Amino acid sequence: MVSPARKYLQITFLVLFFPLFFASSALAWDDVGHKISAFIAWQRMSPEARNEVIRILRKAPEDSQLSTLYMVYGPEPEELRRLEFFMIAATWPDIIRDREFPVRYRKYHHGNWHYADTFWRQVDGKAEILPNADEGGEAVKKLKEFDKTIRNSSLSDGEKAIAIAWIMHIIGDLHQPLHTSARVTDLEPKGDQGGNLFMLSPKETPRDKQLNLHWFWDSIVNRVNPLKRDTCDRIYIQNLARRFMARYPYSPQFSRLGSFEDLQKESFQLNPKSVYTPDLERFRPPSAKYTKNAYSLAERQITLAGYRLGDLLNEVFGKK
């Protein structure tokens, strides 16, 4: 029998979170997470790297509509407009999911570039690695390709602009543990699609109103610390980012980025011990303890993604 307190928690969870579910579909860290990582990267970047990255992003192909995200005119100083452009560029690979712009969608959207899944089975709280299926995602492969693109002096700025936007986004994606995971169970013999098939809402919930584990992790920052009506988006992101950086200060050892394969493996290792914990149950909202731990881990991962992105862009575009 469900206790009154537990029942109240479930009702509160559904009432508070359903509107957010409809407002945005499940994306790897929602736009808040990606913007925070971009803000942190911007703090790490040298003036030379900032100038070159912004210059290149503004050379993006016209049909990508990436360069149109830059506000040429406005009351704010140019440096703030450059920062806001940089932050929203990190969300461009999610913006182009919109099918209402079919030319842009068909040419630039690639759903399987957002993840690189390891297929695994949970045995006694540990991961038993299984052979990867074809649908494991291409995030690591594309990161390696885009990294070569931005380092190739013979390629156009337009090609590099698209590569930079994808690098900004994929690095953020891969720091979300469920973007590296396909857990295999008896219910999901082909993997749970990064927690998308792990339902948190009651069994009788209509399909179009169901909440899943992937959504829970993607949107956790915005749910725990929502934007207040009297705060603009940039200040909201800035305040969260500075709080994250204070909690997880930069150090070369902390932010060191080896290979992109190493990044995927590092993020995947968080799944058996921090995501699929013993207290996590299907068809029930996660506990307050689980939510607190998940938020703390999200803070760390988003901050780490920002530091690593900033270091990478400094390496390529900073003063030699």
17, pLDDT greater than 60: no
State the Cα–Cα distance between residues 53 and 58, nearest whole angstrom.
Answer: 9
**Domain tally, the chain:** 1
Task: Yes or no: say if 221 and 32 are a contact pair by the CB < 8 Å rule.
Answer: yes
Local structure of residue 80 (DSSP, 8 states):
H
Q: Is the dihedral of CA 280, 226, 72, 307 positive or negative?
A: negative
Res. 199: pLDDT tops 90? yes
pLDDT by residue (tens digit) across 289-309? 999 999 999 999 999 999 999
Residue with structure tokens 């407009």? 81
Q: Is the whole-model pTM more than 0.85?
A: yes
List pLDDT tens digits, range 256-269: 988 999 999 999 99
Q: Between 173 and 133, where is the model more confident?
A: 173
Express as a percent the part of the chain with pLDDT over 70: 91
How many CA atoms are closer than 13 Å to the CA of 312, on its beta-carbon side?
28
Contact 13, 5 (CB under 8 A): no
Q: Can you give the pLDDT at residue 320?
A: 65
| Poorest-pLDDT segment among 22-36, 113-127, 166-180, 303-317 | 22-36
Instruction: Output the six-digit token pair for 3.
Output: 């206790």
Measured distance CA(233)–CA(214) in Å, rounded: 24
Weakest mean pLDDT among 44-53, 125-134, 175-184, 192-201: 125-134
Q: CATH number of the domain that 191 lies in?
A: 1.10.575.10
- 93 pLDDT above the threshold of 60: yes
Rounded-to-integer distance, Cα 140 and Cα 173, Å: 11
pLDDT, averaged across the chain = 91
Q: Angle 94-164-117 (CA atoms, 0-180°, nearest 5)? A: 55
In this prediction, residue 22 has a pLDDT band, given cuts at 50, 70 and 90, of very low
Query: Is 130 a residue whose pLDDT tops 80?
Result: yes
pLDDT at 139: 98
Read off the pLDDT band of 30 (50, 70, 90).
Answer: confident
Q: How high is the pLDDT of residue 8?
A: 35
N- to C-terminal Cα distance for the chain? 66
pLDDT surpassing 70 at residue 15: no
Q: Stretch 98-116: mean pLDDT, rounded?
A: 97
**CA-CA distance, 223 to 141, in Å (whole number)?**
32
Instruction: Judge whether residue 251 has pLDDT over 50.
Output: yes
What CA–CA distance (Å, rounded) separates 31 from 217? 13
Kindly report the number of other CB atoms within 10 A of residue 76's CB atom: 12
Q: Which domain holds residue 158?
A: 4-317
